[in-house]
Amino acid sequence: MSADTKQNTITIDGQEIPFLAGQTIMDAALAAGVYIPHLCHRQGLTPHGSCKLCVVDIASKSVTACTMPAMAGQQISNNTPALNEARKTITQMLFIEGNHICPSCEKCGDCTLQAMAYHLGMLDGHFPQFFQRREVDASHPTVMLDRDRCILCELCVRASREVDGKNVFDIAGRGTNAHLIVNSTSGKLVDSDLETSDMAAHICPVGAILIKKSGYKVPIGQRTFDLHKVSEIGLEKTILTKVRQPDE
């Protein structure tokens, strides 16, 4: 911390939390061990603010914790029944927009969306399913792209650009036609420069980007969210470096 960094505090659900200049509400909360639900946020990547799971209220104004700068004296509501109800509805929206098959999805138990649903007490999708047709791209030898599960969080887009130093992914289309695209001449993953060791290949919070031939190495029952709550995992310091798989 530089000498001129000014330390100050915000208040989340009555708890005073220090923050450093330049931190967002999310940064300050996570550093203090206060969990604010989030899907599209990952410490170290540019905040995105699109999933809206991290909405919090300041007075009666809704703000996005991962993008809103922390400012001295903010009185923030976070873990309230009303906000968690809004978050549950947003999570249901993500479920019914895509084609999610939790029991048979190989990400089951490792999926943050699924864990978020449990965390928020979501028992069903509630809304009518959209049943959108989404393209599967199995062209890459080691990485599978199944857009059925994509929640458009753009973690892979940002990880590729900011950590891997590549630019493998982007979003095209608009509204509910928005979809993940691959930056290659054919639009297929096989013709991109994605490698198994890339952060972008591993960062997907759902079952949209999967490493092939590794789906059931960890048995169901022993997976991340079988053992930990999403509110514990969400507080972990993520180290954004390339991952080298043991079989490489």
Partner 1 sequence: MSMSSAVSNFSNMTDLLRSVITRIYAESPYLLHVLYALQRKFLHISDEAVREVAAHLDLPTSQVDAVVEFYAFFHKIPRGRYDILFSNCTSCGYMAGGVDLMAMFGRRLGIAVGKTRGDGLVSMDQTSCIGMCDHGAALLVNGMPITSLDGPMIDSIAALVEAATPLEDWPAEWFYVEGNIRVSGLLLKDDLSEGISLRAMLALGAVGSLSEIIQSGLRGRGGAGFSTGMKWQLCRDAQGAAHYVVCNADEGEPGTFKDRVLLHSYADSLFEGMTVCAFAIGAKQGYLYLRAEYRYLLSHLQSVLTRRRELGLLGVGILGQPGFSFDIDIVVGAGAYICGEESALIESLEGKRGIPRVRPPFPVTHGYLGQPTVVNNVETFIAAAHIVLRGSAWFRAVGTGKSVGSKILSISGDCAAPGIYEYPFGVTIRQVLDDCGAKDVLAVQIGGPSGTLINRAEFDRRLDFDDLSTGGSLMIFNQARDLLAVIVNFAHFFAHESCGFCTPCRVGTTLLKNGLDKIAGGHGTQYDLDEMQRIAALVKYRSHCGLGQTAANPILDGLQRFPQAFEQRLVHSDEPHFDLDAALEEARQVSHRDDTAAHIK
User: Which residues does residue 211 pair with via DSSP β-bridges, in sequence order?
Assistant: 143
| Residue whose structure tokens are 């639009």 | 187
In the complex with partner 1, which residue's Cβ is closer, 29 or 54?
Answer: 54
182 is a site residue for partner 1 (CB under 8 A): yes
167 is a site residue for partner 1 (CB under 8 A): yes
Closest CA to 39 of 186, 206, 213: 206
Query: Shortest gap between Cβ of 147 and partner 1 (angstroms)?
Result: 14
93 is a site residue for partner 1 (CB under 8 A): yes
Query: Kindly report the CA angle at 232 between 234 and 237, in degrees rounded to 5?
Result: 50
In the complex with partner 1, which residue's Cβ is closer, 126 or 229?
Answer: 126
Binding segment toward partner 1, per CB under 8 A, in 13-21, 64-72, 137-145, 209-217: 64-72
181 is a site residue for partner 1 (CB under 8 A): yes
86 is a site residue for partner 1 (CB under 8 A): yes
In the complex with partner 1, which residue's Cβ is closer, 98 or 207?
Answer: 98
Query: Shortest gap between Cβ of 199 and partner 1 (angstroms)?
Result: 18
89 is a site residue for partner 1 (CB under 8 A): yes
122 is a site residue for partner 1 (CB under 8 A): no
In the complex with partner 1, which residue's Cβ is closer, 125 or 215?
Answer: 125
Contact 117, 230 (CB under 8 A): no
Closest CA to 23 of 69, 81, 86: 69
Closest CA to 151 of 235, 37, 53, 224: 53
* 77 phi and psi angles, rounded to 5 deg: -95, 135
Integer distance in angstroms from the first to the last C-alpha of the chain? 38
- Residue 146 CA to residue 133 CA, distance in Å, equals 11
Closest CA to 113 of 207, 223, 206, 235: 206
Query: Shortest gap between Cβ of 131 and partner 1 (angstroms)?
Result: 10
Could you write out the DSSP letters of every residue in 124-156? S--SPP------EE--SSSEEEEGGG-----HH
Binding segment toward partner 1, per CB under 8 A, in 1-9, 133-141, 164-172, 195-203: 164-172
In the complex with partner 1, which residue's Cβ is closer, 87 or 202?
Answer: 87
In the complex with partner 1, which residue's Cβ is closer, 49 or 234?
Answer: 49
Binding positions for partner 1, rule: CB under 8 A: 47-52, 55, 62, 64, 67, 69, 86, 89-90, 93-94, 96-97, 127-128, 130, 151-152, 167, 169-178, 181-185, 187
